[in-house]
Amino acid sequence: MNFDGLKYIVVGSGFWGAVFAERIASVLNKKVLVIDKRDHIGGNCYCETDKQTGIECHKYGCHIFHTSVKNVWDYINRFSEFNGYKHKVLITSKSKVYSMPVNLATINSYYNLNLTPSEAESLLKKERIKIKNPRNFEEKAVSLIGWGLYETLIKNYTVKQWGTEPKNLPAEIITRLPVRTNYNDNYYYDIYQGIPVEGYTKLLRKILTHRNIEVKTSVDYYDISEKIPKDCKIIFTGTLDKLFGYKYGRLKWRSLKFKWQKINRRDFQGNAAMHFADLDVPYTRIHEFKHYHPEIKEIFESKKTIICYEYPADYKDGREPYYPVNDKENNSLHAKYLYEAGKNKNITVGGRLGSYRYWDMDKTIENSLNAFNIFARAKYIVK
């Protein structure tokens, strides 16, 4: 690979990097190289259409686009139409299926009652444990929904997800635990929701299709960093601890493992997502991908389906970092690396890995658009 004259390189072709590259190419009208160490573009939003069934599979976990941010929605709609899919989640606990997030159907089903919204509010008021300053995840959860719903729907799922008792997790992990006393079972409240009609990979490919953008996959930044010209602007969306040789220590993440199965059945579970609350079920969720595209009747009605079991896992070498462990210790470790990165004016850090944040796709895109605006206004533009 020849890097002579290279002025802009984006490391990582997920949403954050792709959007940033598109802005460099179209707004600044500059040439930009995008590299990714994986053999495909799209980062964790990458999806593949199964050749035999035509079912689109989200390879790094299911992804539903949702936002209430109008400019993000307008931006992303330039590259794809969306099918209007609205996500619904079910959870199995002790052989019984409940609707999530907790809503009136969940409450009535759990307590075996037929309450009205105001009766459900009164019941929850009695059930909530009064804790003024919740010190951990468990205290926060029971202060919001009480012990019964917490132990049935949340506790063991959380143990599996984070590999530790909720008492050991910071209260901040629950930013909000929606509890609805109506029958609204839409997982998200956002105004705009859906799945790109032709999938995320095509959408991301369109973002990256520009005469000023060159994309190279299967290229690891660490294999080529020495060859990058000194005056080249590096937009980096990988993990920061590795970028600085782990000099302050390693950032903690949770990882995931996926087990895929193709089944000769029209419909396996009747919904895209089934969560599992019990500890004796080792996985947390089963995804059934055809449910994301009910509009493609031929595939939706076909006698085959694809499911994927999702297992939480420790993060170690060879595994992907999925969820940052945003406790105080790790956040301050990340801040040290960010400070280091800030010393090098040629490096711009972004994305969920670089920022050590869990961001939904809309937040990722919004953050990339904003970061680009700052970048473009500052001294970074190379003549």
Ligand X SMILES: Cc1cc2nc3c(=O)[nH]c(=O)nc-3n(C[C@H](O)[C@H](O)[C@H](O)COP(=O)(O)OP(=O)(O)OC[C@H]3O[C@@H](n4cnc5c(N)ncnc54)[C@H](O)[C@@H]3O)c2cc1C
Note whether 300 binds ligand X by CB under 6 A: no
HSE-up (13 A, CA, CB side) for residue 118: 0
Which of helix, strand or coil describes residue 196? strand
Q: Does residue 176 carry a catalytic annotation? A: yes
194: left (phi over 0), alpha (psi -120 to 50) or beta: left
- The residue among 80 and 237 lying less far from ligand X, judged by its C-beta, is 237
Q: How far apart are the first and last CA of the chain?
A: 23
Q: Does residue 190 carry a catalytic annotation? A: no
String of contacts with ligand X for each residue 108-137, x by CB under 6 A: ------------------------------
String of contacts with ligand X for each residue 169-188, x by CB under 6 A: --------------------
String of contacts with ligand X for each residue 2-31, x by CB under 6 A: ---------xxxxxxx--------------
Note whether 36 binds ligand X by CB under 6 A: yes
Note whether 225 binds ligand X by CB under 6 A: no
d(CA 315, CA 317): 7
Note whether 106 binds ligand X by CB under 6 A: no
Stretch that binds ligand X, among 22-30, 91-99, 215-223, 336-344 (CB under 6 A): 215-223
CB of 356 to ligand X, least distance (A): 11
Q: Does residue 254 carry a catalytic annotation? A: yes
Note whether 43 binds ligand X by CB under 6 A: yes
Stretch that binds ligand X, among 55-63, 72-80, 143-151, 226-234 (CB under 6 A): 55-63
Question: Whats the size of the chain, residue-wise?
Answer: 383
Note whether 289 binds ligand X by CB under 6 A: no
d(CA 207, CA 42): 10
Interaxial angle between packed helices 104-111 and 137-149, expressed in degrees from 0 to 180 and rounded to the nearest 10? 60
Query: Whose structure tokens read 């997502």?
Result: 273
Burial (CB < 10 A; 0-12, 13-18, 19+), residue 25, is buried
Q: Could you tell me if 87 and 287 are in contact, meaning their C-beta atoms sit under 8 angstroms apart?
A: no
Q: Does residue 198 carry a catalytic annotation? A: no
d(CA 157, CA 283): 9
String of contacts with ligand X for each residue 314-353, x by CB under 6 A: --------x----------------------------xxx
Q: Does residue 357 carry a catalytic annotation? A: no
Footprint of ligand X on residues 354-373 (CB under 6 A)? 359-362, 364
CB of 270 to ligand X, least distance (A): 19
| Catalytic residue from among 56, 285, 288, 352 | 285
Which of helix, strand or coil describes residue 368? helix
- Which residues have C-beta within 8 Å of that of residue 101, sequence separation ≥ 6? 89, 177, 178, 179, 180, 187
Which of helix, strand or coil describes residue 223? helix
Which of helix, strand or coil describes residue 229? coil
Contact with ligand X (CB under 6 A): which of 238, 272, 372, 375? 238
The DSSP annotation for 33-55 comes to EEEESSSSSSGGG-EEE-TTT--
Stretch that binds ligand X, among 37-45, 100-108, 198-206, 270-278 (CB under 6 A): 37-45
- Using CB under 6 A, count the residues that bind ligand X: 34
Stretch that binds ligand X, among 32-40, 100-108, 196-204, 289-297 (CB under 6 A): 32-40
Interface ranges with ligand X (CB under 6 A): 11-17, 35-38, 43-45, 61-65, 220-222, 237-238, 256, 322, 351-353, 359-362, 364
Catalytic residues: 176, 180, 254, 285, 310, 358, 360
